[in-house]
Structure 1
Amino acid sequence: MDESGNSRSALGSRVRKDIKFYDFIKHVSQKDFIRHVIMVTILLNALFMALEADYDLNFKNYVLFQVIDEFFLAIYTMEFLIKVYVEPKGYWKSSYNIFDTFILILSYIPLIMSGSGSGSGVRAIRSLTMLRTIRLLRVLRTISYIRAFQVLILALFKALTHAVYSAILLFILVLLFAIIGHDFFGDTPTGDPQTWGDLGNALCVVFSLVTVDGWTDVQGRLDDLGFTFSWLYTIAFILLGYVIFYSMFVGAAMIAFQDATKIFEEDMQNEREASLAKKKETLLKRQQEELGEFIQSQETHDRQDFNERVEKFRISLTDSDDIVMEDVYSNLTFINTYLTSLDNQDESINRMSDFYDETIRSLSEILERRDLVEAEAE
């Protein structure tokens, strides 16, 4: 299907009036150069936002930074308009495109507020400053252009789904040990009511044991109060809450990352196969067109002219020319493999023939010896 056919199918049965312009914009938007330009723009935008964080530099070059920021915003807006123009419906089917659009809309809010001059005073300035920090989200647009980042994000979300169940089990375990600690160590006369007397405080103390942060202080207070076997309580919870559940979360994250990597490799393989198929189709179409034009041009020329054209065509060929072979028997790799197989087959036949000759010779000698022995016995 040609490009005009793609432009017609992009909008269903309705035929566009701007087919040539649409095909040109679509062809340009699919270039890798455009993706590289957007990536460089995002990185430069992040660099200028980092420079803008310097108060003295921002104060001296405030107008310059404003112009540069609006320039970057214009590039993002132009990219958005081109993508929506090329794929009015397909653009919104990608979650990454929706995320980019959300960031673009948020980037316009501080620009509109500063341009309209709405609001005054310290509160308005703080609100505008807070909205301007939203520009930092533009750096996250690199996720839409780097497939490796998409794999990591997918693996992270899958790991979080598994982490929910681990977090529920961990909360149940923390609640259980908090109740046990409250019952054993929270008595007013002999225990530590300030730490373990309230269930809420007990939950906070037990949760701190999950991170293994300050557990020696907690255990030291229990030892000072005379709870000799309290270390069993502390060690048991650390083993269950930190070692086991932490290992479960890491294992779930690794499994999710492996699944995401597998999906990424399959997508890359499908893209490579599609690219090769498209290239092959293009080459075949071009060869057919050139061959048709060549044959048609010979209908009005004699044989000598034909031979001259063949010679010129042969001279113009180079080793780097791409040649598509539809028939496996005309493929050079297949021919080399087939010839090698024939050589190996001939060698195997010769060896088998030598083996048969040796076998017949040995059998003949055995028969001669047997006849000689029988003759001597008689």
Structure 2
Amino acid sequence: MSEMLGIGVVGAGAIATRIMAHLRLPDAAEKVRLAAVCDPVPGRAAAAAAKYGAAASYESYEQLLRDPNVDLVTICSPIGLHYEQGVMAIEAGKHVHSNKTMATKVSEADDLIRRATSRNVRIVASPGVMIQQETRRKRKLCLEGALGQLSWAIAGTAMGSGTYHLNEEVRTGNDLLSNVNPGWYFRRPGGGPMYDATVYPLHELTGIVGPAKHVTALSGIGIPEHMFGSERIVTEMDDSTILLIDFGNAFHGVVYATIAGSITEWTPNIYGTRGAIIGSKFGDEVLKREGDRTPHVTGGHFGLREAHVYEDIMQLVDWVLEGVPSVANAEHARHVIDIIESGYRAAETGCTQELVTTFEPLPLSELQNNI
């Protein structure tokens, strides 16, 4: 393999086009070249390739995987396709970056990890929230006992209404790159705000305080249908879910995905007997600081959307080229998938679910410098 990797972008919708805007910048091109993009909508991949400078475009994912210039893929398709497409990439010998979530079931995540290990293929799974300096400061405070004994936490999003996805600029235009249908967001499998949005605060909360042990939940559909232009979209996936998570030692978390009423603005509040992290503050200390950066988000990347996803991709590139594993690992992603899947099962059965996965959170020794 050469010292520059070829990346294949799977899908040419909202996330994919924003990622390609990063990948065409000169600093990205020092390590990775935009080798190909695929999308099943006729003409969409070709339009994206022309706009962002991809070397090839395909309407078939299988064609992209056969391209010898593609060394790794970033999976930007609807969430319900991520597992199958991840398996196909691994079996083709391609390294994988998966946008959240990399699967919808623990059994699927287990299979991806097993296959990747067997094939000596690397997986980085978004969102890599523990790359962020702010989040690492929060974990350091908890590990050093600054909050005292942890009591409870709350985190979540109010993305269940679907308004954001229905009105994104890539949905409301009249060309191939700006009329992308959001219907997948309301369908099974993989639709709904838990897998798409609340996955972020779940990654952050577990990254800060460590893996959970049990979950129970209430869940349902609050808005039964939506209109996208003249198309009526029936809501199949729950849009209103409240999880109650047991982390052990009488420390509990409330995590929500609702149609209205966000309390925490994506980042968790964590309360202890000596203090609390409220959003980005610990008392008077501001934890999100001017000058905070991740290793690859510099220069022109700051003004572009989905910079955190670009960082996750470059974490994979570094892992492949330099042998440096990423904290945005598949094991953490699997644990969050376990919480979501088990939460839905708890809501359906009325019974608290024991989680079957875990992961290794960052130790204090890795949090002492550069935060």
**TM-score > 0.5 by shorter chain:** no
- Higher-RCO chain (CA-CA 8 Å, sequence separation at least 6): 2
Structure with greater Cα Rg = 1
TM-score by length of 1: 0.20
Q: Which has the higher helix share?
A: 1
